[in-house]
């Protein structure tokens, strides 16, 4: 057998580096060597001499290199319903928007996914996820459209294949024609895992089992969904403890709070992560810590819907894995994750811990290594270390928005959203100088606008 070709190398030098490794190692001026899709070396000063197959050398002066951002909760389809129901709490917002969402189809979902992914990628996200749970009858291959959009964009991706089987006639919020049957949801989820999930170290696409929420899913779907995920060896995701109304709903319907309900259905464990987790008492946090259950913290969405302030400092102190999420862009219209670094820090300082709640490096860790933890990929991404996948971002910090902030990490967390000069995913450039490389941004924007208008027309007719 002929030997495989030596990997091509990209060398980045003269760059500030925040590795977000276990020791929070940082270099004021260092180097990164990428060989193929892996980080080959990282350290202070210039790169080693005599490297072969160097296809690109980058002078990182005026930049900070960090791990790529990891988004742990999103709903891409909402990209085409932004700016609606802007003064509603969660339940009223859902009631207002479900009739529109129930009319989505494959072309709409593809355009929305490309818009959502493009906005995140331009802002430094290298690993994205989508919790898609609206599958109206006859709407086409929605999961395939979303996964295809991520492939086109070049980002690493987890599809949390969602489902709902509790429609209005059963006391749920979504219209009955927008929900699946128990059997249909389980079968479709299993088929999606079989077709698309890649369990390898450098997987670009993974799938999780993700019934939507206690108020749109039957207990049978929650319990059997957990059994399905563990039989297939994939992770589990859902919404949890987002609002006081949800807690009241759980007590009325199940006779227990959300965390106890989740535990009774098999939904606590180190293969599970929950979105929001705003209304958690000490016992709830202890249960998450004991079981290794992760949290996707979505500060902007929680504020937009007046859900409250999640107890992130207490979760971290207890050992709960916590990452950041954009959440759907109908409740976070910016659609960006790098702004969530700042918002997580600021909003948590409004809570009980005040100025001691989070610091800049803790916020960066939430958006990188913390996200990798909750997606089950901390051995592969989330920090800059030799042997890990080459998912990294160069943030420009010598421009007008950041040049007078001496500390680079403080600059990108406390300062304005920093421009992305380069974003690598699996060693491949996906963004340069703030522009997407693998798709036509203007075409993405036009398609999203057209599909948003088409959806609005269809919804108005019903």
- The tens digit of pLDDT for each residue in 362-406 reads 999 999 999 999 999 999 999 999 999 999 999 999 999 999 999
* Residue 409: other Cβ atoms inside 10 A: 23
Structural domain containing residue 420: 9-67+383-436
**In this predicted model, what pLDDT tens digit does every residue of 89-146 receive, in sequence order?**
988 998 899 899 999 999 999 999 999 999 999 999 999 999 999 999 899 999 999 9
Is the pLDDT at 2 greater than 60? The verdict is: no
pTM above 0.95, yes or no: yes
% helix / strand / coil in the chain, to the nearest 5?
40, 20, 40
Distance in angstroms (rounded) separating the CA atoms of residues 408 and 415: 10
Residues 308 and 404 in one domain: no
One domain, residues 348 and 403: no
The yes-or-no verdict on residue 246 having pLDDT over 90 is: no
Of the three residues 354, 374, 394, the one that is the final residue of a domain is: 374
Q: How much is the average pLDDT of 429-441?
A: 98
Do residues 390 and 256 both lie within one domain?
no
What separation in angstroms does the CA of 356 have from each of 101, 242, 309, 353, 408? 40, 24, 15, 5, 20
220 and 297: one domain?
A: yes
DSSP alpha helix (H) spans, 359-440: 360-365, 371-374, 408-414
126/202 Cα distance (integer angstroms): 13
According to DSSP, the β-strands at 156-163 and 205-211 are parallel
- Say what the pLDDT of residue 245 is: 84
What is the average pLDDT value for the chain, to the nearest integer?
96
Tell me, yes or no, whether 294 and 164 share the same domain.
yes
What's the rounded mean pLDDT across residues 311-339?
97
End-to-end CA distance of the chain: 63
61 and 157 in a single domain? The answer is no
303 within domain boundaries: yes
Span of 42-56, 64-78, 163-177, 444-458 with lowest mean pLDDT: 163-177
Q: How far apart are CA 399 and CA 62, in angstroms?
A: 8
Question: Would residue 445 count as lying in a domain?
Answer: no
pLDDT of residue 171: 80
Quote the number of domains for the chain: 2
Residue 401: CB atoms within 10 Å:
16
CATH number at residue 22: 2.30.40.10
Asked whether the predicted pLDDT for residue 299 surpasses 90, the reply is yes
Q: What are the tokens at 144?
A: 């395939």
Count of Cβ atoms closer than 10 Å to residue 244 Cβ: 14
Supply the DSSP symbol for 389: B
**Whether residues 399 and 367 fall in one domain:** no
4 pLDDT band, cuts 50/70/90, is low
* Same domain (yes/no): 412, 325: no
For residue 88, what is the domain's CATH number?
3.20.20.140
Question: End of a domain among 374, 402, 424?
Answer: 374
Cα separation, 147 vs 106, whole angstroms: 12
Q: Are 96 and 84 in contact (CB under 8 A)?
A: yes
Domain assignment present for 447: no
Give the DSSP letter of residue 18.
E
Domain final position from 345, 374, 403? 374
Confidence of residue 1 (pLDDT cuts 50, 70, 90): very low
- Token pair, residue 93, equals 């917002």
């Amino acid at each position: 057998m002929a030997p495989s070709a030596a990997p091509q190398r990209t060398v980045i030098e003269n760059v500030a580096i925040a590795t977000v490794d276990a020791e929070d190692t940082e270099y004021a001026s260092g180097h990164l060597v990428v060989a193929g899709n892996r980080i080959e070396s990282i350290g202070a000063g210039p790169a080693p001499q005599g490297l072969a197959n160097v296809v690109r050398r980058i002078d990182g002066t005026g930049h900070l290199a960090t791990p790529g951002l990891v988004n742990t909760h999103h709903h891409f389809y909402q990209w085409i319903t932004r700016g609606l129901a802007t003064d509603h709490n969660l339940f009223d917002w859902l009631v207002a928007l479900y009739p529109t969402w129930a009319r989505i189809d494959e072309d709409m979902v593809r355009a929305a996914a490309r818009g959502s992914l493009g906005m995140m990628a331009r802002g430094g996200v290298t690993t994205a996820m989508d919790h898609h749970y609206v599958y109206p009858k006859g709407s086409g291959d929605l999961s395939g459209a979303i996964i295809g959009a991520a492939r086109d964009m070049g980002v690493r991706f987890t599809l949390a294949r969602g489902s709902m089987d509790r429609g209005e006639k059963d006391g749920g919020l979504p219209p009955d024609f927008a929900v699946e049957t128990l059997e249909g949801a389980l079968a479709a989820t299993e088929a999606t895992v079989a077709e698309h999930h890649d369990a390898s170290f450098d997987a670009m696409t993974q799938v999780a089992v993700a019934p939507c929420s206690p108020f749109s899913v039957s207990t049978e779907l929650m319990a059997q969904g957990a059994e399905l995920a563990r039989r297939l060896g994939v992770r589990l995701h859902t919404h949890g403890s987002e609002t006081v109304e949800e807690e009241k709903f759980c007590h009325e319907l199940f006779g227990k709070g959300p965390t106890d309900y989740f535990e009774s259905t098999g939904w606590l464990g180190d293969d599970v992560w929950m979105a929001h987790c705003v209304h958690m008492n000490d016992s709830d946090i202890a249960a998450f810590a004991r079981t290794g259950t992760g949290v996707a913290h979505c500060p902007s969405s929680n504020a937009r819907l007046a859900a409250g302030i999640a107890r992130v400092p207490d979760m971290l102190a207890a050992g709960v894995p916590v990452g950041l999420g954009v959440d759907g862009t109908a409740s976070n219209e910016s659609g960006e994750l790098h702004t969530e670094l700042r918002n997580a820090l600021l909003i948590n300082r409004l809570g009980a811990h005040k100025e001691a709640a989070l610091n800049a490096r803790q916020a960066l860790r939430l958006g990188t290594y913390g996200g990798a933890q909750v997606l089950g990929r901390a051995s592969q991404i989330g920090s800059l270390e030799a042997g890990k996948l080459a998912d990294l971002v160069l943030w420009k910090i010598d421009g007008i928005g950041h040049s007078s902030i001496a500390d680079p990490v403080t600059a990108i967390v406390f300062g304005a959203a920093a421009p992305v000069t380069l974003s690598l995913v699996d060693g491949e450039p996906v963004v340069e100088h703030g522009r997407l490389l693998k798709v036509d941004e203007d075409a993405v924007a036009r398609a999203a606008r057209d599909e948003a208008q088409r959806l609005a027309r269809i919804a108005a007719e019903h």
